Structure 1
Amino acid sequence: MTENPKQAVCGAALRKLVLDTALELFSRDGYFNTSIHDIRRQAGVSIGSIYHHFGNKEALAKALYDDLLQRMDAGLREVMEREPGCRARCDGIIAFLFRAAQDDPRTMRFVLEARHREFLPHEPPVCSSQPFMRMRECIEQGIATGELRPIEVPVAATAAFGGTIRLLQLHLDGVLEAPLSRYLASMQEAAWRAIANDSPNATNNTTNNTTQEPEQ
Structure 2
Amino acid sequence: MPYLKRQVPDPEPIDCKILTSALELFIKNGFHSVSIHQIQKHADVSIGSIYNHFGGKEGIAKQLYMHISREFEELVDDGISAGNTATEQCTEIIRLMFGYTETHSDIMAYIFNIRHAEFLSDQPLLCESAGFEKIRGVVQQGIEQGEFVAMEPVVAASCIFGGPIRLMQLRLDGMVATPLDERLFQQVTASAFCGITLPMNQSTSESQVVPISSVAV
After TM superposition, is the score higher than 0.5?
yes
Counterparts of 1:173 and 1:62, CA distance in 2: 24
Counterpart of 1:46 in structure 2 is 46
Counterpart of 1:58 in structure 2 is 58
Provide, for residues 165-205 of structure 1, a one-character-per-residue CA deviation record: whole Å limited to 9, x for no partner. Answer: 100011112122532213101111111223101150449xx
Provide, for residues 114-152 of structure 1, a one-character-per-residue CA deviation record: whole Å limited to 9, x for no partner. Answer: 111111111122211122112111101101111111111
Q: Which runs of 5+ in 2 are unaligned?
A: 1-8, 205-217
- The CA RMSD measured in Å over matched residues stands at 1.9
Counterpart of 1:158 in structure 2 is 158
Higher relative contact order (CA 8 A, sep 6+): 1
Counterpart of 2:190 in structure 1 is 189
Which SS does the other structure have where 1:180 is aligned?
Answer: coil
After TM superposition, the runs of 4+ consecutive aligned structure 1 residues lying more than 3 A away are 9-12
CA positional deviation for 1:95 = 0.2
Counterparts of 2:24 and 2:127, CA distance in 1: 23
Counterpart of 1:28 in structure 2 is 28
Q: Which amino acid aligns with 1:109?
A: A
Counterparts of 1:56 and 1:175, CA distance in 2: 34
Counterpart of 1:210 in structure 2 is none
Q: Which moved more, 1:161-170 or 1:114-123?
A: 114-123
Q: Which runs of 5+ in 1 are unaligned?
A: 1-8, 204-216
Q: Which amino acid aligns with 2:185?
A: L
TM-score (norm 2): 0.84
**Do the aligned partners of residues 149 and 106 (structure 1) sit closer, same or farther apart at CA in structure 2, a change above 3 Å counting?**
same
Q: Which amino acid aligns with 1:158?
A: S
Which SS does the other structure have where 2:149 is aligned?
Answer: coil
Q: Which amino acid aligns with 1:194?
A: G
Counterpart of 1:147 in structure 2 is 147
Q: Say if 2:40 and 2:47, in contact at 8 Å, map to a contact too.
A: yes
Provide, for residues 27-49 of structure 1, a one-character-per-residue CA deviation record: whole Å limited to 9, x for no partner. Answer: 11111111111111111111111
Q: Which amino acid aligns with 1:68?
A: I
Counterparts of 1:107 and 1:165, CA distance in 2: 14
Q: Which amino acid aligns with 1:86?
A: A
Which SS does the other structure have where 1:32 is aligned?
Answer: helix
Which SS does the other structure have where 1:195 is aligned?
Answer: coil
Q: Say if 1:147 and 1:202, in contact at 8 Å, map to a contact too.
A: no
Counterpart of 1:76 in structure 2 is 76
**Do the aligned partners of residues 10 and 122 (structure 1) sit closer, same or farther apart at CA in structure 2, a change above 3 Å counting?**
farther
Map 1:87-126 to 2 at 5 A: 87-126=87-126
Counterparts of 1:202 and 1:178, CA distance in 2: 39
Q: Which moved more, 1:177-186 or 1:25-34?
A: 177-186
CA positional deviation for 1:63 = 0.3
Counterparts of 1:201 and 1:163, CA distance in 2: 26
Identical aligned pairs, as a percentage? 35
CA positional deviation for 1:12 = 6.9
- Aligned residue-pair number: 195
Counterparts of 1:131 and 1:60, CA distance in 2: 21
